[in-house]
Chain A
Amino acid sequence: MSWEVVIGLETHAQLSTASKIFSGASTAFGAAPNTQASAVDIALPGVLPVLNRGAVERAIRFGLAVGGTISRRSVFARKNYFYPDLPKGYQISQYEVPVVQGGTLTIAAAEGEQVVRLTRAHLEEDAGKSLHEDYHGMSGIDLNRAGTPLLEIVSEPELRSAADAVTYARTLHALVRWIGICDGNMQEGSFRCDANVSVRRQGDSKLGTRCEIKNLNSFRFLQHAIEFEVRRQIELIEDGGTVVQETRLYDPDRGETRPMRGKEDAQDYRYFPDPDLPPLAIDEAWIEREKKYMPELPQAMRARFVATYALPAHDAAALTADRETAGYFEAAVESLGGDRTTAGKLVANWMLGELAAALNRDGRTIASASIHADGLAALLRRIADGTISGKMGKEVFEAMWAGERGGDADAIIAANGLQQISDAGAIDKVVDDVLAANAAIVAEFRAGKEKAFQSLVGRAMAATKGKADPAKVNVALKRKLAD
């Protein structure tokens, strides 16, 4: 019996505003507890919320990026429940009319490209944090995070595996960073997912009972949590049991999900429109204004890279993983100049080869790479014009990365005398010297030992400390041996 897995994700992306969604307090991460909680965030008697337009701008940009409908009028609602880190006793969210409705996200799913439909995206405020350790049996409350702006992005239940769910989350993560609305820092909780998971027998049209796994703040946890949950549900049904609708938590230490609260404990949030906030009106002019801030989107850029630079699709995808990488690529190609296809290919090879390896080795991102796009282009120019060999290029790259000679490719080449020897006279002289000094090997060659030729090339290269143009050495050797 085969099973179909059905997954929908609810993703909370923290919007990158300097201040909170309904107060002027800072959203900076890592401050001492409760130092970034204003009277509004603490919910002192008499305070009122004022909407941060920056949060709305970011929501509009998201709507534009996914091709959703941006509501001309959306409504903030109160979601009422008691919890010590929820100061007002309600969370201001959007319920019946969200700011963005619909839209799609195209992902590279296991079975090929998949267009995942989005249900909605709505604005809401984050709660504070409860700290249950180190307080001698009491709980600590930190309200710095209370009121942080979030965009909750809800997908339709169209994902069919843990791997596809992760691909969706990664694609969404890349998109919100690409359009600059979220810093995507998962360790700091800026991007976290809830997964709704159910299974059904292949061919069933009715959805199975779902469980919601809360607060998955890494792609690895997302993958493991879903995989565990799918196994659990299938085993449960195959053993004759039934899945109970409930909210579950993933325990990364044990690698399992466990129940948090059941349906019967589901709270009645008593949603109603927040009378402190007028409906959010977004007119055409506002949307047009935000369009001006929209960068070329990754999908479009990918297609353009394939068309303009004749790059393979997977190279184009890798180079558009984030805006910094794409920007680096285009800047380096521009700086290198010449034929676009040749330059594009060369830059792509070096970025995905040496540069990626160096970044990975040092645990850096492209924004903090030791070699800037202009620097890489200066190096590649010397390879393209034959000043140095590709092999020498790698040495120069390492020297640049280490900051030698101010990272200047030409200075490093000159200082170390790395210029390729391609002068015919010089090469002839080297070859003559090698032939004269290695009569035995020449004899082997003449006796029909092909390997002896490579040995002679090697000796010529060694004699020039690798600087001779190997192709020219080859030609010269062949010519002289044929004499």
Chain B
Amino acid sequence: MIDASIAELSASLRAKRFSSVELTQAHLARIESLDGKLNAFISVDAGRAIADARAADDSIGKGENGALTGIPIAHKDILVTAGMRTTCGSRMLANYTSPFDAHVVDRLARAGTVLLGKTNMDEFAMGSSSETSYFGPVRNPWHLDYVPGGSSGGSAAAVAARLVAGGTGTDTGGSIRQPAAMSGVCGLKPTYGVCSRYGLVAFASSLDQAGPFARSAEDLALLLNAMAGHDPRDSTSLERAEEDYARLIREDRGAKPLADIRIGLPAEYFGAGVDAAVARAIDEALAVFRTLGAETVAVALPNVKLAIPVYYVIAPAEASSNLSRFDGVRYGHRAATYADLADMYAKTRAEGFGAEVKRRILVGTYVLSHGYYDAYYLKAQQVRRLIADDFRAAYAKCDAIAGPTSPTAAFKIGAKSDDPVQMYLNDIFTIAANLTGAPALSIPCGFDRSGLPIGLQLQGPAFTEAKLLDVAHRFQQATDWHRRFPAGTE
């Protein structure tokens, strides 16, 4: 049962082939036996999970079940949960428990999911490898010496290793899509404002967006159906009519289901710097899309090369302010001894934050400083608009843009730890979607010579999640990359 997709599990639960309690126990058993190696979880609460599963079985018994009732999931440990600590992978919050649930946590709970635990991540979501966690690095289920990608590497690894059927992540510059690619699972960053940020511990407020991890595009749609929705507590949450993100997936469109889809291929995503194995896998995927009826067209994104510098101004700027609340006064870590107030702040934050978080706070403080604001932050916001203009122009010629999610497959743990710029380049293809607020997803499309997964990214204009998920789903109907499971952990 652990190999099945959420859609299949849901059908089995409905047919009472097994109960949610049995399903949950099977997953808890896998966590028990495998997570010692993977370190995908920071917290696991078996008692709560079994209680959730019992409640789900009751609902199923009464015929009140939805598509996610009884499905075991995990949340990235940056989404706050009442009754289970939320650490953000940081010493600063190592013992912090929120009195309330994040909006997406609450919505998934109401949909009947069973919460197994909270997943490991780069500290405060700052990283592309899930190595910067105070709770130690997450390991890639396909090869334990490799990173799973980041920052939502715990959720990606847990879904890949089938410790859970699905999970949540957050994506500020690629933190769902890049680990999805490197861990061989599916991940979606919705349009900014589709999922409420209430209860998502802020990294970069104008870029952060929660989204689902799963093993198929269809499962992503089912999870997004539960997660999306207006929340008056988040002023950037959008008021839109409820949408069924799986509606296009359910359509029967014959052998050429993508006949009216034009897929844009930006030269900027296929040039130097992309690993040969990745380029080959993407080319093969594009051939599949053509077989399914899609047309591929060349598009240009001349300013997209500026996405990384723009991002590394805006994201640290917002982060430097967002992380100011971690001051040792009201909650979280506080230094044991200090001379005065300034010393309390300095020691608390020096001890509570790791190196990468400090680096970004320093960069962010610098770019917002008097005399530098115009040159950095303001300029970055202007370039951000130029990048959005590029995409608008491209979407006049195509429905979606395809390319590699990441220029390489996963790298070895420690390989890029000392070189932040190399680390930042991992997100070269994913960052633009955060800067423009547009939706984007990653699905598995092959492996490199070491047997490490490769991901394909699909991006579209705002609110085209259903279409992107449908395109991904048609690809998965024609291929089985998403049905491959890692043997590295077992």
Contacts and interface: CB of A to CB of B under 8 A. Distances in A.
A264 to B, nearest CB: 14
B235 A89 contact: no
A49 B368 contact: no
Interface of B: 79-80, 86, 88, 93, 96, 98-100, 102, 197-202, 204-206, 232-236, 317-318, 320-321, 323-325, 327, 329-331, 341, 345, 365, 368-370, 373, 377
A50 B235 contact: yes
A276 B235 contact: yes
Contacts of A46: 79-80, 86, 98, 100, 102, 198-202
Contacts of A48: 197-198, 233-235
Nearest to B373: A272
A276 B88 CA distance: 20
A45 B86 contact: yes
Interface of A: 39, 42-51, 78, 80, 82, 84, 87-90, 141, 268, 270-272, 275-278
A87 B330 contact: yes
Contacts of B318: 275
Contact of A268 (B198, B235, B369): B369
A89 B325 contact: yes
A84 B99 CA distance: 21
Given A46-B102, A82-B345, A89 B197 contact: no
A272 B368 contact: yes
Given A45-B86, A80-B324, A141-B329, A270 B365 contact: yes
A42 B327 CA distance: 12
Contacts of B80: 45-46
Contacts of B370: 268, 270
Given A45-B93, A268-B370, A272-B317, A50 B233 contact: yes
Given A80-B324, A90-B324, A277 B235 contact: yes
Contact of B205 (A43, A80, A141, A276): A276
A88 B202 CA distance: 12
Given A82-B345, A268-B369, A275-B206, A43 B325 contact: yes
Contacts of B341: 84
Majority DSSP secondary structure for residues of A touching B: loop
Given A50-B232, A82-B324, 16 more contacts: A39-B100, A45-B88, A45-B93, A45-B96, A48-B233, A50-B235, A78-B321, A80-B324, A84-B329, A84-B341, A89-B325, A141-B329, A270-B365, A270-B369, A272-B368, A275-B318
B28 to A, nearest CB: 27
Nearest to A267: B370
A270 B321 contact: yes
Majority DSSP secondary structure for residues of B touching A: loop
A82 B365 CA distance: 13
A88 B98 contact: no
A482 to B, nearest CB: 90
B317 A44 contact: no
A268 B371 CA distance: 10
Contacts of B197: 48
B100 A80 contact: no
Contacts of A89: 321, 323-325, 327
Closest 4 CB pairs of A and B: A89-B324, A275-B206, A270-B368, A275-B205
A140 to B, nearest CB: 12
B107 to A, nearest CB: 15
A284 B264 CA distance: 43
B98 A44 contact: yes
A272 B377 contact: yes
A276 B236 contact: yes
A42, A45, A271, A278 pick with most chain B CB within 10 angstroms: A45
A431 to B, nearest CB: 84
A97 B88 CA distance: 35
B198, B324, B327, B368 pick with most chain A CB within 10 angstroms: B324
A45 B324 contact: no
Contacts of B99: 39, 44
Nearest to B92: A45
Contacts of B205: 275-276
A191 to B, nearest CB: 28
B42 to A, nearest CB: 15
B94 to A, nearest CB: 13
Contact of A45 (B98, B320, B345): B98
A47 B198 contact: yes
Contacts of B201: 45-46
B236 A278 contact: yes
Contacts of A88: 324-325
A50 B317 CA distance: 22
A82 to B, nearest CB: 6
A239 B214 CA distance: 78
B40 to A, nearest CB: 22
B357 to A, nearest CB: 14
Contacts of A78: 321
A445 B253 CA distance: 127
B235 A49 contact: yes
B93, B204, B235 pick with most chain A CB within 10 angstroms: B235
Nearest to B204: A275
A422 B369 CA distance: 85
A278 B365 contact: no
